Amino acid sequence: MDLAKGDNQEAQAQALTNILNDVFEYKAINTGVLVFSFTDELWKAGNPESQDVGGWAPESSGVPYDGTANEEYWGVLDVNRHKKKAFNVLKKFYNTLED
């Protein structure tokens, strides 16, 4: 499996888990977190009629899970608004928060 191309829900969910673990470990000094993005996006690069399977954003250092800054696949919902594995990661974190 080529982690650097297209949709990889397992890797995205693991990356989001790692990021949220770090944020919530230090919640006493954090004021919040923004998860980008709610839905996958077709228009970010290349053909706006379909999702591109790879691509590097200019001046990008990559993303935590695959080194490819392909924002078309960063949503917690896919382009058809179906929940991705990352959605369940968010749900788990926010349903288990303590006051």
What would the pLDDT profile of 66-91 be if each residue is shown by its tens digit? 455 567 788 999 989 999 999 999 99
Take residue 76 and report the two structure tokens written for it.
């917690």
Percent of the chain with pLDDT over 70: 67
- pLDDT at residue 90, as a whole number: 93
For position 1, what pLDDT does the model report?
40
Position 77 scores a pLDDT of: 95
The 8 Å CB, 24+ separation contacts for 79-88 are 79/39, 79/40, 79/41, 79/42, 79/51, 81/39, 84/9, 84/12, 84/13, 84/40, 85/9, 85/10, 85/12, 85/13, 86/9, 86/12, 86/13, 86/16, 88/13
Give pTM, 2 decimals: 0.72
What's the pLDDT at 64?
46
